[in-house]
């Protein structure tokens, strides 16, 4: 199992890139712990794991799990955007509630960017809602070095814009 | 086979919404006739037909074929955008080269919009490249009542922006 270690959270973090059936539960637990995502969103997070398990790399979904003593504390899900030369989507980045505020998001993002660069990636996109309740998400992306490039008005629903963040690698 | 008729092209046009295996060839022929799309794009057009044939409406891909005397002159492929309330993508709109410049695009778009409104759609998105060679596409969308809402710089490749057009229904 390929791993690399990061250390900015104090105790050693190991990265895991392969996906196993138990990760459906792992991802569900991490996403639920945040208290931030609704059931439909949480279900999509698990479905991306299922897609990966079923279709492998051909699914287009790649994962980084940050583990400590064999326990996943957080993860990212990302992948190349079809029809582009070097643009990637960051589909998910989530840390378990018990391990937030310790720089884990930054460590996960750095590792994810390293892998994206290895794939030939130039730009990473993260999309979120423009609604007030998603302000913490937008702040989170900004702290990770993304900038808010543009938005589509009323995309998700009337009064609910889609906001595009991008990080240029 | 459900049909409705339009008449702005002079001779009566019948619409067809169901998709049959022969449409893989029909779509390939229409797309190739335009001389506008590269082989990878043409292949995607056919793949959307295959997805529809395999998964039905659950594929998320819906079609309108404009026919005259049983021959398809042009088509649209559209569908609801997952996770949105009333936003739709116009994935494809193409007319056979022998039947362009006769208002067929407008007739096809009007019929597609009628169906999208019936689905509860509020907004239709069309995405294209910002490269100079796509100027005819951008003019085409503008003539169909879309407006250019925003773009993502270098999305497709360095120097190749993604441009978002939207039509508010």
Helix axes A135-143, A104-118, angle to 10 degrees: 60
Buried residues in B82-120 as b, exposed as e (16+ CB within 10 A): eebebbbbbbbbbbbeebeebbbbebbbebbbebbeeee
Q: Which chain B residue has the Cα nearest residue A156?
A: B84
B83 contacts in chain A (CB < 8 Å) = 40, 44, 156
pLDDT computed for residue B2 by the predictor: 44
From the list A84, A150, A166, the residue facing B150 with the nearest CB is A150
The domain segmentation of chain B, as residue ranges, is 5-121, 127-169
Asked if the model's pLDDT at residue B50 lies above 70, the reply is yes
pLDDT computed for residue A11 by the predictor: 66
Q: What CA dihedral angle connects B70, B71, B73 and B76, to 10 degrees?
A: 60
pLDDT by 10s per residue, chain A, length 169: 444 554 444 568 999 999 999 999 999 999 999 998 889 889 999 999 999 999 999 999 999 999 999 999 999 999 999 989 999 999 999 999 988 878 899 999 999 999 999 999 999 999 999 999 999 999 999 999 999 999 999 999 999 999 999 999 9
CA distances from B28 to A104, B98, B101 (A): 49, 15, 20
From the list B44, B87, B160, the residue facing A155 with the nearest CB is B87
pLDDT computed for residue B12 by the predictor: 87
> pTM of the entire structure?
0.88
Asked if the model's pLDDT at residue B128 lies above 70, the reply is yes
CB contact under 8 A, B84 and A122: no
SS3 label, residue A88? strand
Helix axes A23-34, A39-55, angle to 10 degrees: 160
Task: Please state which of the four CATH numbers 3.40.980.10, 3.40.630.30, 3.40.50.12370, 3.40.50.300 is assigned to the domain occupying B5-121.
Answer: 3.40.630.30
B159 contacts in chain A (CB < 8 Å) = none
Query: How does pLDDT run across B133-157, given as a tens digit for each residue?
Result: 999 999 999 999 999 999 999 999 9
CB contact under 8 A, A155 and B122: no
Q: Report the distance separating Cα A38 and Cα B76, nearest Å.
A: 34
A158 contacts in chain B (CB < 8 Å) = 85-86, 122
Q: Indicate which of A154, A162, A167, A168 best probes the interface with B, i.e. most B CBs within 10 Å of its own CB.
A: A154
Q: Indicate which of A38, A44, A83, A85 best probes the interface with B, i.e. most B CBs within 10 Å of its own CB.
A: A83
- The answer to whether residues B151 and B125 touch, using CB atoms and an 8 Å cutoff, is no
CB contact under 8 A, B152 and A164: yes
ipTM of this complex prediction, to 2 decimal places: 0.86
List alpha helices for chain B, DSSP H.
23-34, 39-55, 104-118, 135-143
B85 contacts in chain A (CB < 8 Å) = 156-158, 160
**DSSP class of B106:** H
From the list B122, B149, B155, the residue facing A152 with the nearest CB is B149
CB contact under 8 A, B152 and A155: no
From the list B152, B154, B156, the residue facing A150 with the nearest CB is B152
CB contact under 8 A, B155 and A123: yes
pLDDT computed for residue A144 by the predictor: 94
From the list A40, A85, A152, the residue facing B150 with the nearest CB is A152
CB contact under 8 A, B123 and A86: no
Alpha carbons within 13 angstroms on the beta-carbon side of residue A161 total 15
CB contact under 8 A, A87 and B123: no
pLDDT computed for residue A9 by the predictor: 47
Q: Report the distance separating Cα B39 and Cα A42, nearest Å.
A: 37
From the list A84, A152, A160, the residue facing B157 with the nearest CB is A84
């Amino acid at each position: 199992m390929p791993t690399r270690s990061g250390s900015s959270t104090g105790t050693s973090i190991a990265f895991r890139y392969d996906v196993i059936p138990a990760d459906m539960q792992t991802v569900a637990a991490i996403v639920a712990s945040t208290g931030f995502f609704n059931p439909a969103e949480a279900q999509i997070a698990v479905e991306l794991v299922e897609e990966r398990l079923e279709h492998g790399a051909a699914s287009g979904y790649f994962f980084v799990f940050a583990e400590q003593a064999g326990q996943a504390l957080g993860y990212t899900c990302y992948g190349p955007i079809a029809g582009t030369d070097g643009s990637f989507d960051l589909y998910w980045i989530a840390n378990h509630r018990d391990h937030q505020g310790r720089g884990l998001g930054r460590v996960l993002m750095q590792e994810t960017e390293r892998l994206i660069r290895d794939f030939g990636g130039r730009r990473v996109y993260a999309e979120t809602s423009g609604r007030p309740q998603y302000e913490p998400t937008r702040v989170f992306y900004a702290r990770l070095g993304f900038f808010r490039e543009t938005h589509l008005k009323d995309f998700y629903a009337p009064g609910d814009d889609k906001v595009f963040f991008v990080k240029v690698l």
